[in-house]
Amino acid sequence: MPDEKGLHFVVQKHDASHLHYDFRLEIGGVLKSWAIPKGPSMNPEDKRLAVMVEDHPYAYKDFEGIIPSGNYGAGSVIIWDNGLYEPVDAQSQNKKDLEKLLTQELKKGTLKIILHGKKLKGEFALVQTKKINDHSWLLMKKHDEYALSTDITKKDKSVVSGLSIEQLSRTVSIQSPKQKNK
């Protein structure tokens, strides 16, 4: 059940057929999701490809574990970062108003958000680029006091378990997100 205190985001590092980062934003009771092959960046000079994928259930924001072979997304998943977020242009702190604004921005193809994560902080933009296809977006860090030139993905441990994806692969029993949430 979505938390009434704020909008959540999660970034899951996912070692499936290809290593990537899943950037997920809570909007309307689900997680709007983008796969980011190179991972997010705190450097405003970087523009990271973010491919919009299917929505995920809200409960998936807490999944860390191994999706068994033969299942969609099979591989190891850690919660690389998480926290709360808000739209830059928020006029209200009412969650329904925030989600309405985010839904409008999503339809226009430009989301401007402020992340309050453990690793990702400050203002970001997700901008749809129809030059490639309708699912292609760019994730960009805005110039602010949190901007860094160092590679934030070098901080490779889970913010929940403290494990790297390699450590998780060796230590956690295989489970699917559905099994974890029962």
Residue 147 belongs to some domain of the structure: yes
In angstroms, rounded to a whole number, what is the distance separating the alpha carbons of residues 122 and 41? 12
Decide if 93 contacts 65 (C-beta within 8 A): no
Structure tokens at 49: 């490809």
Q: For the whole model, what pTM was predicted? A: 0.90
Residue 25 belongs to some domain of the structure: yes
Report the number of distinct structural domains present in the chain.
1
Residue 150 belongs to some domain of the structure: yes
Please, what's the b/e burial string for 41-65 (b: 16 or more CB within 10 A of its CB; e: otherwise)?
Answer: bbbbebebebebeeebebebbebbb
End-to-end Cα separation, the chain, in angstroms: 13
Per-residue pLDDT of the chain (182 residues; tens, 9 = 90+): 445 578 999 999 999 989 999 999 999 999 999 999 999 999 999 999 999 999 999 999 999 999 988 888 899 999 999 999 999 988 888 899 999 999 999 999 999 999 999 999 999 999 999 765 678 999 999 999 999 999 999 999 999 999 999 999 888 654 545 544 44
Residue 2 belongs to some domain of the structure: no
Range of the domain at 171: 7-180
In angstroms, rounded to a whole number, what is the distance separating the alpha carbons of residues 164 and 45? 27
